[in-house]
């Protein structure tokens, strides 16, 4: 099932939360900064051993001091107008994160709205891709119990509510 909540993803007690990371995996602003603050310094130390991450791909680490057991770090595309493969890359972020969830036997996962902050992906289009990609994946993977879309703003919450009706 899919669920929408408004709030801070770092407070969620789920098997995995997804981080909208950058390619270095060494931390940044936005949700990335919040996740590293919540997890503590062991997270950046672990991330430093992973060799970065390509746009559209994902890597998994423990959650350390977070309530979530794992963090799945994915790198969304920077929005350059939509003709540089952004939609496929964004869909790939959701798919690769869910593949790692299945590979690790995890059942509950929470996503932020990847790429819609500093990376400027239009929020409505990003929301449609998130919901379509996740629902297609869930049709084929009953072992995932719950996917939570975490909306940081009221505007995001409304978009996700529309898209999941
Ligand atoms: P990106 O670089 O992929 O655009 P950002 O972190 O700048 O990543 O933004 C991604 C989304 O995460 C934005 O919609 C932003 O409002 C949201 N966000 C920021 N902090 C949090 C948080 N603590 N929990 C959930 N979402 C958050």
Enumerate residues lining ligand 1, CB below 6 A: 8-10, 20, 30-32, 34, 76, 112-119, 150, 152, 156
Cα 119 to Cα 32: distance, rounded to the nearest angstrom: 12
* pLDDT at residue 57, as a whole number: 98
Confidence band, pLDDT 50/70/90 cuts, at residue 165: confident
Q: Hey, what are 67's tokens?
A: 């309530």
- Give the C-alpha separation, 165 to 154, whole Å: 17
Q: Where are the domains of the chain?
A: 2-163
Residue 99 three-state SS: helix
Residue nearest to atom 20 of ligand 1 (CA): 31
32 is catalytic: yes
Residue among 67, 114, 72 nearest 90 (CA)? 114
Q: Is the CATH number 3.30.56.10 carried by domain 2-163?
A: no
**Burial of 62 (C-beta count, 10 Å sphere; 0-12/13-18/19+):** middle
Residue 109: what pLDDT? Answer: 98
Q: For residue range 3-19, what is the model confidence (pLDDT) as tens digits?
A: 999 999 999 999 999 99
Query: Mutation test of ligand 1: which of 111, 116, 130 has the most ligand atoms closer than 8 Å to its C-beta?
Result: 116
Distance 79 CA to ligand 1 centre (A): 15
Binning pLDDT at 50, 70 and 90, where does residue 115 land?
very high
* DSSP state string for 23-54: TT-S--SHHHHHHHHHH-HHHHHHHTTTT---
Higher pLDDT, 8 or 165: 8
| Distance in Å, CA 34 to ligand 1 centroid | 9
Beta bridge partners of 6: 151
């Amino acid at each position: 099932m899919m669920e929408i909540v408004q709030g801070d993803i770092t407070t969620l007690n789920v098997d995995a939360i997804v981080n909208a990371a950058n390619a270095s995996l060494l931390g940044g602003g936005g949700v990335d900064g919040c996740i590293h603050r919540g997890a503590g310094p062991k997270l950046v130390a672990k991330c430093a051993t992973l060799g970065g991450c390509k746009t559209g791909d994902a890597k998994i680490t423990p959650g350390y001091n977070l309530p979530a057991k794992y963090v799945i770090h994915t790198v969304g595309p920077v929005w350059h107008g939509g003709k540089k493969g952004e939609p496929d890359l964004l869909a790939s972020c959701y798919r690769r994160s869910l593949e790692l969830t299945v590979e690790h036997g995890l059942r509950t996962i929470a996503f932020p709205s990847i790429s819609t902050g500093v990376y400027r992906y239009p929020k409505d289009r990003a929301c449609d891709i998130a919901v379509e990609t996740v629902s297609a994946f869930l049709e084929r993977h009953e072992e995932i119990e719950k996917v939570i879309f975490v909306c940081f703003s009221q505007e995001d919450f409304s978009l996700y509510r529309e898209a999941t009706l």
